[in-house]
Structure 1
């Protein structure tokens, strides 16, 4: 595994965000398959010193040692100078991000290797969020977004559009983490930024997805009418089957909350049908990697719960649960949902 691939590991990047040098060395060794003796050759630090750092007996505080370790471990540029973890007033998008995007599509050429690399890393963060924790990864993703937006003013054409999409993906992720932390205002502000960037770059799938997430937020806050309108707006622009499936499901949940059970059922059936059109992950947008036919059936069962169709919900959960054998956390969640539905049949 190359040095760049090592630094794609979310746990390693999270340790770097905490400046937890014991964790950095341990996670680096685990990713590289190195012993402490093996790491000695990489960073030029004797094994007893490495052992002392990993055990907490030695703190890494001197600038010279930090520079030596940073160089030896080949830390990617976008992780240098990380913003601090968000405090009470630091969750919202900073104005300079909007300024960078405002100067997009200028004349020039940009080497997109950095953007491609950051896109790969974000894909791994999505999959690791539940395990590693969104708040822990927040400074890392913010730093990645800074790296992406700095590329945009000197880029034009399709390359600029690609960067706009990558920036929108990051902003959406930051919105989701802010939402899970109870920061409703910043969560909506990040979604506004993501929507603008997605539209500027001509990315209908991301535009639809941002509408879907905003609809979800509205439903969570007890406003099903607004949730319904927002989900409808996401479906209006003819997104791809996977993105249309996600918005149809969300509109179904809003319709159920409004008491329109027949329309809610039709929308849920449509969501399952659309997901079945693209069963392979490679045919779906990267942020919808999880929306395979099994997950679509589980969403349909959740929609049945929202309609109080308890028998349909229980049957749907029972049908799909065996496919979650390799996902213990998800399996436990949907077993609880199955128990909830069965108690009401």
Structure 2
């Protein structure tokens, strides 16, 4: 695997974001399947020095050593900027990002290969978030977003639209992680940025999805009226793919049930399930809905039954679909708790 490919590894990127030099060396060796001896010619240090850094007996404080490791391990540009941008730790979106798109000037030929690479890496961050959380990857994704927005002013037409979608996906991820950290103000600010970029780029699915996320935030904060209103806006948007329409319908069902509109909630839940089952293959869904496979669709239907207090249907549905939920420990725990509670209430 090339050095560039190695840096798609989320554990390695998280170690870089923390500037944990011991972990950087260890995770690079793990990803590349190298010994400490193999690392010697890359970083210009003998094996005993590498061992001392990895074990914590020696700290990396020299700028020269940091530069040697950075160059030797071929750290990609969107990551090498992280070490020099402490402001990336700030949670909310800076005005500069919006201005860069609205008022920027072309700085040269747009590198869409870089954009494609960053998009692939973001997809891996989405999948890793459930396992390791998003906090360690925060500065990495912020730096990636900078790399994307620097490309946008120099583009027009479909290439610009494509970059707008990638920027919106990053802003959505940042919103989600902000919310998980209890920073709801930053979460709402990032989701607004994501929606603006999605609309400007003509991406109906992403614009609908961020409305759905806003609805979810409203539900979490005890406002089902606003949640239903926003979910319906997501569901009724024009030109949606079946997958995007499905998740919006499910969110509307949850909000309707919270307001006591159970028949409406059941109809919406049936709609969500039918739409999701139209696109069982991951390649037929937007990248951020990679998880909406048939098992997930059935779990969402069972979750709708739960909020409608159809306890038997909820328990049976979750029990049947739960074995298909592999690799998502937090979601597995959530649905297991739902099933156990529904079972007690039957």
TM-score interval for Structure 1 and Structure 2 normalised by the shorter chain: over 0.9
**What's the TM-score, normalizing by structure 1?**
0.96
Matches within 5 A, 1:112-131: 112-131=112-131
Per-residue CA distance 1:198-253 (angstroms, 9 max, x = gap): 00000000001000000000111111111111111112223100000000000000
- Give CA-to-partner distance per residue, 1:104-134, whole Å, 9 cap, x none: 7979741201100000000000000122221
User: CA separation in 2, counterparts of 1:36 and 1:225?
Assistant: 58
Aligned residue in 2 for 1:196: 196
Partner of 2:151: 151
CA contact (8 A) 1:297 1:320 kept: yes
Within-5 A mapping of 1:1-345:
1-82=1-82, 83-84=85-86, 90-103=90-103, 109-238=109-238, 239-324=240-325, 330-345=331-346
Aligned length: 343
RMSD over aligned Cα atoms: 1.6
Deviation at 1:334, TM superposition (A): 2.2
Larger deviation, residues 183-192 vs 128-137: 128-137
Q: In the TM superposition, what whole-angstrom CA distance separates every residue of 1:37-95 from its partner, at most 9, and x where no partner exists?
A: 111132221111100000001111111111111000000001122133876xx211001
The separation in 2 between residues aligned to 1:107 and 1:145, in whole angstroms, is: 17
Post-superposition offset of 1:336 = 2.0
Q: Distance in 2 between matches of 1:316 and 1:268?
A: 13
User: Is contact 1:175–1:191 with CA below 8 Å preserved after alignment?
Assistant: yes
Displacement of 1:324 in angstroms is: 2.9
Structure 1, unpaired ranges of 5+: none
Tell me if the contact between 1:29 and 1:36 (Cα under 8 Å) persists in the aligned partners.
yes
Q: d(CA) in 2 for partners of 1:107 and 1:70?
A: 26
Tell me the distance in 1 between the aligned counterparts of 2:222 and 2:190: 21
- CA distance in structure 2 between the partners assigned to 1:182 and 1:331 by the alignment: 22
8 A Cα contact 1:21 1:60, kept in partner: yes
- The whole-number CA distance in structure 2 between the counterparts of 1:141 and 1:326 is 22
**In the superposition, relative to structure 1, how do residues 107 and 51 fare at CA in structure 2: closer, same or farther (>3 Å)?**
closer
Kindly indicate whether the alpha-carbon contact (under 8 Å) linking 1:301 and 1:313 is maintained by their aligned counterparts in 2. Answer: yes
Distance in 2 of aligned mates of 1:55 and 1:141: 28
Distance 1:262 1:202 in 2: 34
The structure-2 alpha-carbon separation of the partners of 1:106 and 1:247, relative to structure 1 and needing over 3 Å to count, comes to farther
CA gap 1:214/1:46 in 2 versus in 1, 3 angstroms: same
**Contact in 2 for aligned 1:109/1:156 (Cα 8 Å):** no
Pair 240,271 (structure 1): closer, same or farther in 2 beyond 3 Å: same
More displaced, 241-250 or 123-132? 123-132
Q: Residues 165-224 of structure 1: CA distance to partner in whole angstroms, max 9, x if unpaired?
A: 000000000000111111111110101000000000000000010000000001111111
Scaled by the length of structure 2, the TM-score of the pair is: 0.96
Preserved contact between residue 88 and residue 142 of structure 2 (Cα < 8 Å): no
Partner secondary structure for residue 278 of structure 1: coil
SS in 2 for 1:343: helix
